Structures are given as structure tokens and as C-alpha cells.
Amino acid sequence: MTASLSVNLNAIAMLRNRRDLPWPNVIGLGRIALAAGASGLTVHPRPDERHIRFSDLPAIRALIDDEFPQAEFNIEGYPTAEFLDIVARNEPEQVTLVPDDPAQSTSDHGWDLKQHAGFLAPIVASLKHQAIRVSLFVDADPEAPAAAKALGADRIELYTGPYGGAHDDPRRESVELAKLELTAAAAAKAGIAVNAGHDLTVANLPALVKKVPNLVEVSIGHGLTADALVHGMSGAVERFLDALKV
């Protein structure tokens, strides 16, 4: 089964926010991405709204409901009370919980699930009670999938930043890919589904897909947005979809 593609809109929103103007249009580009074959849209609303704004979320929800009802809305974030309220109001199909500090520029590590089990367990249970699929953002660690499963999560999202960051070092890239492969194999054994995201590109996706045959979904923003500057949003989505078909 080919993994689905969720397009992260944060980089588009960050570009828009450089000016007090409505372009690039986040909703319009989300529409193009879904029309080109993306299976969903992802956002990571941060407290300072430096990219996606809270006011964007109802419009994204409406876009999916009104025009692409088969698509999914994935909201990522650290589970503060404010974040969980945003989730409840916008009813995403999936929530990806990440351990980010609000000051971080982007996600750069996964959860320590043993240390944060007591914190996460009731949050996961509450989200699942709302019929929301829950994914936990984790580093490449074969112990993480079983720990996530024990907390009640439906999926893990593999943090692929170290793999993507090794784009100019084939040896290190191979080492990082092997770590992801081992973690995905542990996920299959634990019976939990696998998502992946961070610094994934048309160039490095095929190798990941080959090593992680149980990959269900990739969430891609920066690399896809960079591609869209050259190929247009529709063309970029098509290129990433092709990269997933190996």
C-alpha cells in the first residue's frame, strides 16, 4: 500500500505572514494540493501564531468538509490546554502530539515516552474519546512503538530530521535510515501504525519507503513548499506522490 501524503501548510503561512497581506493564500494552495492528489493537510499552530494562525483552522476544516470530504485534517502541537481547545473546536481526523517548546523554530526531537507517560496517557485517552486518531512524534528508537501503543496511541510519527539532515553525507544518511527501519519493524511487531515527517524530499523519500514498508503517511511541508517554488504546488504534490510509489 502506498503511503498517503499530507501537505504541511506552515511554510506557506510563514511566507504570508511576512506582510500584512492575504497572499500567498493558505487556503487556496491547500485546495490546489488536495486537487493534485494529496490525502490531507497538516498544520502546527504555535502559541505566537508565527505561521499558521488560529483563524486559519476553521477555513481549512471547511475546505476539507465542503470540497474534499475524503481528505484528512492533521493538527500537530504540544498539548497545552489552549492547543487541546483548538483541537476540540476544529475536529481534525488526526492529532500529532509533539514535545516542542513554544520557542522552538521547528520540531527537533521526539517524546521520551517513559518520562512523559503520566502526562500523555490522559491526553491520548481524551482525544480518542473525541474519535480523533492520535499519533505520537518519536525519535528513531525501537522501544518507542510499544511504549506509544501502551499509552493508547494509534500511530507513531517517526522524526526523520536526522535522516533528512544527512543529505550531503551518504554514510550518515545510511546510518539514520537503518535506525528508522529498525523502529518501523518494532512498530509492526507492536501493532501500531507508522507515519513519518521532517526534512523529507523527493530525493530521500524512495529509500525511506523501501526500508519502511509499513509506512502509512508522510507529512511534508518545507521540502514540498521549496519544490512548489520551482514546479508549482500541483507539480510539487505530483512529484512527491511519485516518490512514494516505489
Smallest CA-to-CA distance from 194 within 109, 135, 131 is with 135
Catalytic residue among 72, 176, 198, 217: 198
Secondary structure (3-state) at 94 = strand
Low-confidence ranges of the chain (pLDDT < 70): 102-107
121/14 Cα distance (integer angstroms)? 32
Strand pairing category for 193-197 and 155-159 = parallel
Look at residue 107 in the predicted model and tell me its pLDDT. Answer: 65
44 is catalytic: yes
**pLDDT for residue 102:** 65
Contact call for residues 95 and 127 (beta carbons, < 8 A): yes
Q: What angle do CA 130, 132, 137 make, to 5 degrees?
A: 130
Local structure of residue 238 (DSSP, 8 states): H
Distances (CA, A) of 7 to 11, 32, 179, 197, 224: 10, 11, 25, 10, 8
- Per the annotation, the verdict on 76 as an active-site residue is yes
Cell numbers of 142, please? 525501537
- CATH number for the region 4-135+201-244 comes to 3.20.20.70
Q: Which of 72, 76, 173, 217 is catalytic?
A: 76
User: What pLDDT digit, counting tens, does each position of 124-170 carry?
Assistant: 999 999 999 999 999 999 999 999 999 999 999 999 999 999 999 99
Determine contact, residues 13/53, Cβ cutoff 8 Å: yes
Q: Is 91 assigned a catalytic role?
A: no
Strands 4-8 and 193-197: unpaired
